[in-house]
């Protein structure tokens, strides 16, 4: 009898044990197939990760640009507001400098206080901790000055006018 025929039925039905089945060439082919299938099954995850990282990088650059643009616009608005307050206060200070009544001296004191607050305001330091607080104090003092002077200031942008009128 041939050697193959001598094997028992149980031995013939039991599959070989171990990671590499057959020859080393067959084992390499199986591992290559696994790598190929791994590449296919993980493709979605890889593309998702690549897209995320590309989007994050592009978004970071765009965010910096957009933030800088917003900062410039917001800073210009604050500077315009402070400039209007300063011009208003200096003009009224000049107009009241010739007055000699007690009421005029009280108005001058408050105008001096407003001018001092404006001059101390850090227009060149956007990281100043109390920027918003100081701006609110200046706005409050400006309202107080307007109340004492009995004026209704109008600082609205008039650039939207369509034509000159006389």
Distance CA 26, CA 79 (A): 77
pLDDT category, 112, cuts 50, 70, 90? very high
Burial (CB count <10 Å: 0-12, 13-18, 19+), residue 30? middle
φ, ψ of residue 162 in degrees (nearest 5): -85, -30
The torsion of the CA quartet 48, 53, 55, 61, rounded to 10 degrees, works out to 180
- The pLDDT tens digits for 79-109 are 999 999 999 999 999 988 887 777 878 889 9
Indicate whether 11 pLDDT > 60: no
Least confident of 14-23, 96-105, 126-135: 14-23
Dig out the tokens for 71 from the structure.
């900062």
Q: Locate 75 and state its tokens.
A: 């800073």
**pLDDT above 70: percentage of residues in the chain:** 72
Residue 45 in this model has a pLDDT that exceeds 60 = yes
């Amino acid at each position: 009898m041939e050697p193959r025929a001598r094997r028992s039925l149980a031995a013939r039905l039991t599959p070989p044990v171990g990671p590499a089945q057959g020859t080393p060439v067959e084992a390499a082919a199986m591992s290559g197939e696994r790598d190929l299938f791994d590449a296919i099954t993980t493709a979605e995850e890889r593309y998702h990760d690549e897209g995320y990282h590309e989007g994050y990088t592009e978004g970071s650059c765009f965010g910096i640009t957009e933030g800088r643009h917003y900062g410039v616009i917001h800073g210009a608005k604050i500077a315009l507001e402070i400039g209007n307050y300063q011009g208003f206060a200096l003009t009224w200070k000049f107009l009241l400098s010739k007055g000699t009544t007690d009421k005029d001296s009280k108005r001058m004191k408050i105008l001096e206080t407003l001018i001092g607050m404006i001059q101390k305001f850090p227009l060149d330091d956007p990281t100043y901790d109390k920027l918003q607080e100081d701006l609110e104090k200046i706005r409050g003092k400006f309202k107080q000055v307007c109340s004492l002077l009995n004026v209704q200031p109008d600082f609205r942008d008039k650039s939207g006018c369509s034509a000159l009128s006389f």
